[in-house]
A and B are shown apart, each in its own frame.
Chain A
Amino acid sequence: MAYDYEKSIRPGKLPHIWCPGCGHGIVMKGLIRAMDTCELDRDNTAIVSGIGCASRLPGYLDCCTLHTAHGRAAAFATGVKMAKPDMNVIVCGGDGDGTAIGGNHFIHACRRNIDLTYVIMNNLIYGMTGGQFSPCTPTGAMASTTPYGNPDPVFDISKLAIGAGATFVARTTAFHATQIDKLIAEGIKHKGMAIIEVLDDCPTTYGRRNKFRSVTDMMKRLKDMAVPVAAASKMTAEQLEGKVLTGVLYKEERPEYTAQYANVIKKAQGA
Chain B
Amino acid sequence: MFIPAVLIYVALLVVPVIYAFYYSFTEYNGFPTRVPEFVGLDNYRTIFGSTDMTDTMVITAVVAVVGAVLVNLAALGLALLLQRTNRFNTFGRVVMFYPHVLSALVVGFLWQAVLGPQGVVNTMLEKVGTDSLPFLSDPDWALWSMILVIVWSLFGVQLILYLAGLQAVPADLLEAARIDGAGRWRTFRAVTWPSLASTVTVAVITSGISLLKTYDVVVSLTGGGPAGSTKTLAYSILAVSFPQRNIGVASAQAVVLILAAAVLAITVLVLRKRAEDDAESIG
Partners in one complex: no
What is the interface of chain A, defined by CB distance below 8 A to chain B?
none
Chain B contacts to A: CB under 8 angstroms? none
